[in-house]
Structure 1
């Protein structure tokens, strides 16, 4: 029944035990606003976690992502993640607002 979810990237790592699915077992159909702070797309685990939340929330109207500034080297897994996975099934028909702050020009972030 959650409509507005605000988390930082640390809790997202809990999704990353073992093989991560492309969708959660139960869709977050009531979620309208997703606010995630402290994301670092140089790390594959954080990129996969953010994608998991987005792909499992078909009725999102607003996504807010606050990226963290990093000088880390982008992992090879993160670098090619969006090229390797097929997200053609994802439709964000209800999305009206996308806000990304502190975004850098690293490949995974630009691909997203």
Structure 2
């Protein structure tokens, strides 16, 4: 199925953080591209990183805010804020930016 939507905003009902999933670009190589994107356009710093066999979990900091970028081979790539509210203006801005930059990227899900 073809789609023109790149970011899916998942709002959990259990009070967990809002997750921004990047649709159609789920491979682990795209994770590295996302890290480069965060560094280049949001001056993000990597504060911690954990890489496993099928998962990656990195904490980054941009504009004084900590956020997570995660990958799981069965789920794909997603990011979310570490703010107590579970979401932030920065996460919305990044999601909109990625949506605009990747909207013409062909992919299937």
* Bucket of the pairwise TM-score, normalised by the shorter protein: under 0.3
More strand by share: 2
Scaled by the length of structure 1, what TM-score is found?
0.25
TM superposition score normalised by structure 2: 0.25
Structure with the larger RCO, 1 or 2 (CA within 8 Å, 6+ apart) = 2
